Structure 1
Amino acid sequence: MWWPAALAALVALGLGVPALVAGGSPASSTVAAAAAPATDSPEAGFARDMATHHQQAIDMSFIVRDRTQDAAVRTLAFDIINTQANQRGMLMGWLDQWGLTQSTPAKPMAWMGHTYDAHDGSLMPGMATNADLEKLRTLSGRDAEVYYLQLMINHHRGGVEMAQGYVDAAKNDVEKRLAQTMVNGQRAEIDLITGMLAERGAQPLS
């Protein structure tokens, strides 16, 4: 099967993010301290919104981890939990360094001129609704695997759109590099997940 090699590459990509930050942590601190962005800036907006977006991916991955024994899906879920929790921590850390709050009354993705009809817990494009999450909690085995993979493809598509939006507007090079890592990693995972769905005789959600 082809997915283990692809997944190994994705894990390596995810593990490369801490190395990026650890290897350049003095520069990261310097950039954050020298040019703290405004609370309504793309830098702050992206950090807040992507942290929220990532948290749901982490939550979904914990759910499916307990609903299936399939090694491929559990490995994918484990990678998403670790990679996105690490990235979320960096985003929250930057907000703290900048002296900014972790939430604001502003609508999600307003920093990139995006309008989205938030509903039932789905705050941004790609995010699952509360009903979707409740359904996932009721499934097990192959049914849970397929539904998780379908939800995660949509979640990644929304994440890629937001991360690319920040790459295009970024003024903070450190945060821009992290956003580009998200674009590259999640696009690769979309391809991987599409293949995993096909192996299970399923297709992405429309």
Structure 2
Amino acid sequence: MTVSTDPGEAATAAPPVNGNAPGRGHRGPVWLALTLALGLLLGIGVGLVIPQFLKPGDTSPEAGFLRDMSTHHAQAVEMSMIAHSASTTPEIISLSSDIALTQHAQIGYMQAWLRDWNLSPTSSQEPMAWMPDAEGSIVNGLMPGMATPEQMTALRAMTGKPLDVEFLTLMRQHHLGGIHMAQEILKLSDDKNVTWLAGTMVTAQQGEINLIDMLLKKLQTA
């Protein structure tokens, strides 16, 4: 059988039905417009609804991490401000300033994201509830690495070399706890903002621990 590619013959082989071309009618453009309009409305609806489902929920690891790390950072900022105002050692003044500014800015990020997710900055959940097997991470109600109220009171009263050594010692422990928390959320979350911030925390605080170790060694040999 020979198949012609002549458009004229193809048209002849498929005559109009009731005077209209196959698959076409007077309502064709109308139905097309309605279909497009419906698709647009559905697209808008999905665009409005899906982001709500994609936002982390109140009990999500992301929300728990941001809330807990905000509290964790707040203490680091307080310790840094104490050292910055009381120390006379240039390296301690510089380090404490960097920590205070960096972690205060990160608190701003974390609180802004919680607001964007329509979540409260606080929760009725226990600290570290977002982390699996975190029971041993809480000591006397404090998250990993956090200083006790007694240690904070003592730090406020110190001056000179004892202040420098205590600040560095407490901040080193504080950073280790913060790194542990950040590494855990990296395992649990696929939120790009949260994982970016957590990765930044790990890198910065590991670098600061190296500097703290160097400063402690220098103070101990002075």
TM tier, smaller: 0.7 to 0.9
Name the count of aligned residue pairs.
170
Structure 2 match to 1:50: 69
Quick one: distance in 1 between partners of 2:126 and 2:51? Answer: 24
Cα distance in 2 for partners of 1:32, 1:189 equals 37
Q: How does 1:59-98 map to 2 (within 5 A)?
A: 59-98=78-117
User: Percent of pairs identical after alignment?
Assistant: 39
Whole-Å separation in 1 of the counterparts to 2:52 and 2:104: 23
Contact 1:32 1:98 in 2 (8 A): no
TM-score normalized with structure 2 length: 0.73
User: Where does residue 184 of structure 1 map in the other structure?
Assistant: 203
Q: Are 1:161 and 2:180 an aligned pair?
A: yes
AA at the equivalent of 2:108: G
Shift of 1:118: 4.1
CA contact (8 A) 2:155 2:163 kept: yes
Q: Secondary structure at the match of 2:130?
A: helix
The 5 Å alignment of 1:133-144 reads 133-144=152-163
Ranges in structure 2 where 5+ consecutive residues have no aligned partner:
1-49
Matches within 5 A, 1:1-206: 35-113=54-132, 114-115=134-135, 116-119=137-140, 123-201=142-220
Distance 1:59 1:135 in 2: 13
Larger radius of gyration: 2
Residue 180 of structure 1, CA deviation:
0.4
Runs of 4+ aligned structure 1 residues displaced above 6 Å come to: 31-34
Equivalent AA in structure 2 for residue 152 of structure 1: M
1:160–1:182 Cα contact (<8 Å) kept: yes
Unaligned runs of 5+ residues in structure 1 are: 1-30
